[in-house]
Every structure is written in C-alpha cells, then in structure tokens.
Amino acid sequence: MAVSETPLSQPVSQVITTISNSERSENMRVLVTGGAGFIGSHIVDELIIQGNTVSVVDDLSEGSLQNLNPDARLFNVSINDAPALEKAFAEAKPEIVSHHAAQISVRNSMYDPTNDAQVNIIGSLNVLQAAVKHDAERFMFASTSAVYAKPQRLPMNESHPMMPESVYGVSKLSVESFIRLYSNTYGIKHKIFRYGNVFGPRQNPHGEAGVVAIFTGQFLRGEQPTIFGDGTKTRDYVFVSDVVSASIAAMGDAGDNETYNIARGIGVSDYEMFDTVAAAADSSMHPKYAPVRPGEAEHVSLDPAKAREILLWRPRVSLPDGIAQVVEHYRRTH
C-alpha cells in the first residue's frame, strides 16, 4: 500500500524536528545500543534535540565517533560483554531502551552464522536482561523484513507467515520471541519495528548492507557498481528520518506490546534504484552483474498501515529526495 510522501528540502535533523515538534516527548532517560551507528546515531540526535538524557552503548566496531552526538554519554562496550553492559545500565538507569546494535549483513550471516547468533541473539538477550534487571519501562527493538517467508502477498503486513530465508532473519525473529516472553513474564513494555531497507546519510558506503550508500560511493569514486541478479529484485526503501520519527512516536504509551512494519509500502527494483542513484550522482555508468547472494529474497514490500493507524506515523521522504541527500552528504564528507 503506497502512502503519501513530502519532498525533502532541508537537512535530516530539521525534517525530523519539523515532524515531531508537535508531539515532543517529556524528558526521559534513554539508552540506545548502537547509538554511534547509522540508524542509532540519528535517533540519538533527535532524542537529544527533544531534551532527553541519552546514553549510548556502542563498541565502535561498526559505529563511528564521528556519528556520536557530543551530548550523549558513551559507554564503549560490546553487548556481548555482559558485565560491562550491566555496569552501563546501572549508571545510565534508562527508562527506555532502544536496541539497534546488531550484525546487519545478510551475506555475512550466511557465511558466519555463529557470529550472527552471538551478536544478534546472545547480545540482545544481554541487553534485554539488563533492561529488566534495572527496571526499564519500555524496550524498543530494531527488527527486519527478513523475518518473513517468501511473499504470499505484497505488500506484506505483520500477520504474514514468517519463515526467514537467512540466518540474519532467523536471529532477529528469535529475539522478537524473547522480547515477547520477557514482556509477558516481567512486565516490561515493548515495541518491535520490522524495518524495510533503511537508507540515508552516515550509512557505510563500503559495507555489505545499504545499496544506496554502496552505489553512491561507487559512482562518486568512479567504480562500476554491481547488481546482484538480473535487476528485477525489489526492496522497500525508507529514509532514515522516517525511521527516526517512528521511534519518537513509539516512546509514548500508544501501541505498546505490538509489532510494526516501518516502510514506504513500495517495492523498488534494483534497476530503478541504480538509475535513480546514477542520476543524482550525475553518472552515465552502466552496471555489471553478479549472481544473487545466498539468503536474499526476490521481492519485498511491507504494509505500514498498522503504524499509520496506531502510532500516527507515515513516511514523508520520497526516494529521489532521500537519495539526493545521501549523494550530497557523501560529497561533503568524502
């Protein structure tokens, strides 16, 4: 289901602030795992703009100090280091935990499933256990569309059958189950977000995930981008400011203990994505092709109606406008 979008004509932080100023959160103590990473750092920025006290748990293995808001308190620890994590929670005393630290590569999850499980399952359990022990009121979890089975209908809503095709998807779905168990057993409230393909400034252009960032970096470095498959594979892309506005909307009581798709509801082909990034980067380069990678679904689009109805959230940034900001950010920072 497509939803209306508005053009992006100002920086990410200004867009998010414009969206959320009318519903500003009260001052809360919030702990963001992965808060120096791509999505987490944008969430931290907005939480601080709104006057919250923010702590970040990040071992900087994927995140960067350049992304970290100077007004956030950094605990430079791994979510797999349970004693250090316990100490961070004891000092931060969070009322809300936003859990974004993860192994995010589908490809790497298939090559090294043990590491994926160690970070995404055991690490998440460490975070969840610490949240319960230190009386956090609400646990917010960044899950993924990779938890779903091969699409039986598009766009997929939250009740669509789940049978992940990657280790990454299995690990995220496992954590969803643990969160519901802990919520039922210990009373901690939760919200689970199943993201589409999030893109925006600060995404790693050299990583395994994030085709917009990867294509942008390759175009602007003069490298020929690769399309995996024949170009018809589709994904549901959502700009990072829209993800942040969903996170801010979820800090209140409305819609607790539910799972939400956070996406635009529109499937975009690799061909269309390639052409849109090429146009923004002023490139006439053609792609090269490689086999589809193990664990990757053929088509993905998500129905965001539930988030729209309960959280009063909707995506506002169009694909071309979001891509233009990614290209501008890469040129400015590289």
Q: Which of 148, 168, 237, 260 is catalytic?
A: 168
Nearest to 168 by CA among 258, 293, 269, 302: 293
Token pair, residue 225, equals: 């981008």
φ, ψ dihedrals at 268, nearest 5°: -120, 125
Based on the residue annotation, tell me whether 168 is a catalytic residue of this protein: yes
Q: Are 190 and 294 in contact (CB under 8 A)?
A: no
Return d(Cα 334, Cα 332) in angstroms, integer.
6
Q: Which helix (H) or strand (E) holds 162?
A: none
Please list, in sequence order, all residues whose beta carbon lies within 8 angstroms of the beta carbon of residue 1, skipping any fewer than 6 positions away.
Answer: 155, 265, 303, 304, 305
Measured from the Cβ of residue 181, the count of other Cβ atoms closer than 10 Å reads: 11
Return d(Cα 321, Cα 319) in angstroms, integer.
6
Q: Are 29 and 94 in contact (CB under 8 A)?
A: yes
Q: Which residues are catalytic?
A: 168
